[in-house]
Amino acid sequence: MTENETNTISRRALLLFCKPPVPGMVKTRLTKERGGNLTAEQAADFFRCSLLDVTDLGLLALDDLESSDALSWIGAEATADTPKKSYDFFISSTAPESLQLLQEMYAADWGDAPPTRQLNYIVDRGTSFDEHFDDAFNQIFERGYEQVVAIGGDMPLLPREHIPEAFGWLDYLSDLSADGSALVLAPCQQSGVSLVGLTRTTPINSTGVYYNRSGLPVLDAYTAKLQEVDVPSAFLAPVSDVDGDEDLAHAISCLNAIAEAQRYQPRIYLAVRTLDWIDRMNLKASAPPNDEHDPRQYLDGQEPD
């Protein structure tokens, strides 16, 4: 590749922001100590399986992006002047020891068949989640990347299409703003966010978003920042993460339904490690019987019994 070709490449990064699956460090709201039903070891094993599945999904999504025009889904045509795009995968955690644990986890799972795409590791620093999150973005932008899309490791229900859509919207929106600013958000089920995408020039950070003392939900905090600086944004469909027992029950039902749909829906992504863990644990989703009488006969013009 010549120097001129290198200069015309638009570099983008997928960021997996996570901790290593250490008992007592991750998914503590699923544990008996915090009102859940799992031991600390079981909760960490769940997170390990989900983290591996989300990583595989991310690798697939980046392959999808590099094999086709990321803007084709909104009808944009690539021209001779359109920069070539490259996509890299970054994993960020809070200490060198954490990165070593993550690398050992991947090596144990992949064995002699690692992915063809390299995983890049960085250590995020700060005094709060807000600062750690921003630091990870800034480190990647300082390496010359123009877009970063961040996801978490506790989302076994993340759709395969979300990552290409996020990058596609960043492309589309950045062309609408004078300085190339753009932000993409996908919420989770509790007014938080499951995906955040930014361009390098976007004047928005996470200060006061996650480490929030006013009670403003994360999604609302990002919305308020967008309104202050008038940055174009896109909203993707919500993606459930797994924090508590209700979230886990929802994931169990969805993964079983996805496994059934996969027979006829070939591109749908199934988090197989997480589903295998659910089967090994013999976990089932349940709901209390519905004893509430729905008086449909009144609506249908029938006399009550």
Q: What CATH code is carried by the domain that includes residue 129? A: 3.90.550.10
The answer to whether residue 164 sits within a structural domain is: yes
**String of b and e for 250-278 (b: at least 16 CB within 10 Å)?**
ebbeebeebeeeeeeeeeebbbbbbbebb
pLDDT band of 299, cuts 50, 70, 90: low
The answer to whether residue 282 sits within a structural domain is: no
pLDDT band of 213, cuts 50, 70, 90: confident
The answer to whether residue 129 sits within a structural domain is: yes
- 38 Cβ contact partners less than 8 Å away, ≥ 6 residues apart: 27, 30, 31, 32, 46
For 217-255, how does the pLDDT look when each residue is reduced to its tens digit (9 = 90+)? Answer: 999 999 999 999 989 999 999 999 999 999 999 999 999
List the single range of 19-23, 36-40, 64-68 with lowest mean pLDDT. Answer: 64-68
The answer to whether residue 144 sits within a structural domain is: yes
Domain range for residue 139? 9-242
- 215 Cβ contact partners less than 8 Å away, ≥ 6 residues apart: none
The answer to whether residue 145 sits within a structural domain is: yes
Residue 11 host element (H or E):
strand 9-17
The answer to whether residue 297 sits within a structural domain is: no
Give this prediction's pTM: 0.90
- How far, in Å, CA of 43 to CA of 26, rounded? 7
What sign for the dihedral angle of Cα 66, 267, 246, 165?
positive
The answer to whether residue 50 sits within a structural domain is: yes
Domains held by the chain: number = 1
Burial of 91 per CB tally in 10 Å (0-12, 13-18, 19+): buried
pLDDT at 79 over 70: no
| 98 and 19 Cβ atoms separated by less than 8 Å | yes
pLDDT band of 8, cuts 50, 70, 90: confident
- Average pLDDT score over residue span 20-45: 96
The answer to whether residue 217 sits within a structural domain is: yes
- Average pLDDT score over residue span 125-154: 97
226 alpha-carbon distance from chain centroid: 20
